[in-house]
Amino acid sequence: MLTLKNITFISLLMLAISIEINQAKECKIPENNEDIDWDKVKDDWYMVLHTNDEVMKKDVIGVRLRNISKTNEGMRMVITELHENSPPQTFTIESSKRRDGVYYGKKSEEPAVLASHTLTPDGRTNNKAKKIDDALFDGDNLVLCDEKNYLVYAFCSLSDEWVVWVAFPSLNPTIHQISLMWNKLIEKGIIVQLYPSKTVEHPEFMESLK
């Protein structure tokens, strides 16, 4: 079972790896990636780890993914987000497939969804978080998923840095599941430090939605 102690250890390990590996600073999605059979990706998924970007560290405290399905253009999923500065939001996201493992998001025009990542406690707009959203919806997303252990969204920020959001079938993934995800990121040349979602420490936040 994943514990906060495990996550701290893993984060420190990844930091050490990032120091040891001479990685190019350029954020570039690999050309060759694995296809995903979305019909095999069942049940609910929960965001457990992320790069502590402006969206995740300032507002989003938890994410649940469900009803994932294949479409003619790519894939569709229903997302429920818990926010620090606004009410929970549930919405559907559709992504078009560019090539194996690479998708292009369709931005929702719902005002609540557009603002959900970018609100500050005083109701203003967090422009740094807005830039993360702009990069998410205006560029390509690398999606890594072995269909049962991990589901990773990785994309380049407007400042050319990796943004990585990692979901597992449980808020308490096994060390084996985390290791599989870790190895896949390294294989793709994505060396980042990851941080736990707030719902890992407070699962009752997510459980209250059921």
Q: Sign of the C-alpha dihedral, residues 121, 124, 127, 133? A: positive
> Band of the pLDDT at 209, cuts 50, 70, 90?
low
pLDDT at residue 179, rounded to an integer: 93
pLDDT in tens, 136-171: 788 899 999 999 999 999 999 988 899 999 999 999
DSSP-derived pairing of the beta strands 195-196 and 151-156: unpaired
pLDDT at residue 11, rounded to an integer: 52
- Pick the more confident residue, 21 or 65: 65
pLDDT at residue 4, rounded to an integer: 52
pLDDT at residue 108, rounded to an integer: 64
pLDDT in tens, 40-50: 998 899 999 99
Region 23-207: CATH code: 2.40.128.20
Residue percentage of the chain with pLDDT more than 90: 50
> Band of the pLDDT at 207, cuts 50, 70, 90?
confident
Report the 3 state secondary structure along the chain: CCCHHHHHHHHHHHHHHHHHCCCCCCCCCCCCCCCCCHHHCCCCEEEEEECCCHHHHHCEEEEEEEEEEECCCEEEEEEEEEECCCCCEEEEEEEEEEECCEEEECCCCCHHHHHHCCECCCCCECHHHHHHHHHHHHCEEEEEECCCCCEEEEEECCCCCEEEEEEECCCCCCHHHHHHHHHHHHHCCCCCCCEECHHHHCCHHHHCCC
Q: Where are the domains of the chain?
A: 23-207
